[in-house]
């Protein structure tokens, strides 16, 4: 059986830049009692991105911004889609080069991020926007084993209890 939750976060930006929202995703996970599973984040926009990036030194994010400004400059005569300004098409290109979806493992109800990793919305437009991100959390309730023997003594279902982890270190526990 699959347990799922779907939420919506609205992130208000002040224009181009990085906006960390790791704490908001972690709070939703605590409410969902996920335990072990996966959270997928989907950004519903085409001129902003999602990133997992260093959250310790802000110079990393400034360097990324400078690199992308050189790679995809505003006002390039190549771009004809400028209905909303010179930053319109460059914002779409930046999104195409990055991503609007992230998948993050969840272990013991916590995001399995590295020590210096944070989840960011990267706004590519110059003007403020309200951006919608949908966190989708899921976990499977099908497990092998039991509390006394987590990897199970047989493979026919006897002794199974819910909410026990699969032991993949044993041969035969991998699907073909």
Q: Residues near 38 by Cβ (< 8 Å), separated by ≥ 6?
A: 103, 104, 105, 106, 137, 138, 139
Helix axes 88-97, 58-71, angle to 10 degrees: 120
d(CA 78, CA 89): 10
H or E, element range at 23: helix 22-32
Closest-CA residue to 104 (of 39, 52, 50)? 39
pLDDT number for residue 28: 94
Give the helix/strand (H/E) hosting 21.
Answer: none
Q: Could you report the per-residue pLDDT of 118-133, keeping only the tens digit for each?
A: 999 999 999 999 999 9
110 DSSP assignment? E
Give the predicted TM-score (pTM) of the model: 0.79
Tell me the helix, strand and coil percentages in the chain, rounded to 5: 20, 30, 50
Which neighbouring-strand residues pair with 119? 52
Number of neighbours of residue 27 by Cβ within 10 angstroms: 12
Q: Return the percentage of the chain with pLDDT > 90, whole number.
A: 72
> Averaged over 42-47, what is the pLDDT?
98
CA–CA gap between residue 38 and residue 40 (Å, rounded): 7
Q: What is the pLDDT of residues 73-102, one digit of tens each?
A: 999 999 999 999 999 999 999 999 999 999
What are the chain's domains? 7-139 (2.60.120.460), 142-176 (no CATH)
């Amino acid at each position: 059986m699959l347990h799922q939750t779907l939420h919506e976060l609205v992130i208000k930006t002040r224009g181009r830049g990085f906006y960390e929202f790791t704490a908001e995703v972690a709070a939703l996970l605590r409410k969902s009692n996920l335990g072990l599973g996966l959270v997928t984040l989907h950004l519903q926009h085409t001129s902003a991105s999602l990133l997992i990036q260093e959250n310790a030194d802000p110079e990393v994010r400034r360097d990324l911004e400078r690199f992308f400004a050189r790679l995809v400059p505003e006002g390039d005569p190549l771009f004809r889609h400028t209905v909303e300004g010179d930053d319109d098409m460059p914002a779409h290109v930046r999104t195409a080069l990055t991503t609007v979806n992230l998948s993050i493992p969840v272990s013991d109800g916590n995001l399995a991020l590295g020590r210096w990793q944070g989840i960011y919305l990267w706004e590519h437009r110059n003007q403020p926007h309200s951006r919608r991100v949908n966190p989708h959390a899921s976990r499977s309730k099908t497990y092998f084993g039991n509390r006394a023997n987590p990897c199970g003594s047989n493979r026919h279902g006897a002794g199974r209890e819910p909410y026990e982890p699969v032991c993949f270190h044993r041969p035969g526990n991998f699907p073909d």
